[in-house]
Amino acid sequence: MSERPSKQVKVPPTTVQRLPLYLRCLIQAQARRMPVVNSVQIADMAGTNAAQVRKDFSYLGEFGTRGVGYDVDSLIANLTKRLGVAEHRRVAIIGFGRLGSALQGYAGFEERGMSVAAVLDADSSKVGTSVDGVVIESIDDLEEVIERERIEIAVLTVPAGAAQGIANRLIAAGVKAIMNFAPVRLVVPDDVTVRQADMAGELQILSFHLNPGSPAE
């Protein structure tokens, strides 16, 4: 298998969104003891097409052998490195309501190279209690906790009215990546990345497709 590093190329956002899916498919192939996969096989697992797979991988470098396919182990290693999950990112959950508590117990963080290092909440009755070895701390101490725990990613599960103010404090404290579950658009600097988790919106899209009056694709 050949693998030649390419010049640094900016990866399009739509390709970045597909990389975790490709990684999951490759891990499945590895579990099936498939040492090599081609773009058609990856496309079938990912629900896309072979041309899209090849184009997406072209942004990362030149991998595989024409007519043969991609070495599964080496491609997993490359995607893991490019996604940054080999570096073990430290996460803070801001807001420990029902959603925050469910996310805190989510095993997928560890499986994807991340760990919940801090949990913060405004409710004084929760502050000081421990959940799975993590002590819930006061939102008043946010900046101190972010610095002490070396937090890189923040997960916001706070009310909409509080989200922008909390985001501003996180950014000022040095956080550059935010997953926002609050139903509000955050205004952030260009060097800060925000992913909006809109569960209600996704459910509405599903409802649209169940509507008998919806036009067929």
Residue 190, classed as helix, strand or coil, is coil
To the nearest 10°, the Cα dihedral for 58, 112, 206, 160? -110
| pLDDT in the model for residue 74 | 87
Q: Report CA dihedral (94, 95, 101, 104) to the nearest 10 degrees.
A: 0
Exposure string over 177-204, b if 16+ CB within 10 A, otherwise e: bbbbbbebebebeeeeebeebeeeeeee
pLDDT tens profile 88-120? 789 999 999 888 888 887 766 766 778 899 999
Domains along the sequence of the chain with CATH: 3-82 (1.10.10.10), 88-202 (3.40.50.720)
Give the model's pLDDT for residue 189: 94
Low-confidence ranges of the chain (pLDDT < 70): 1-9, 62, 64-65, 85-87, 107-108, 110-111, 212-217
pLDDT at site 156: 95
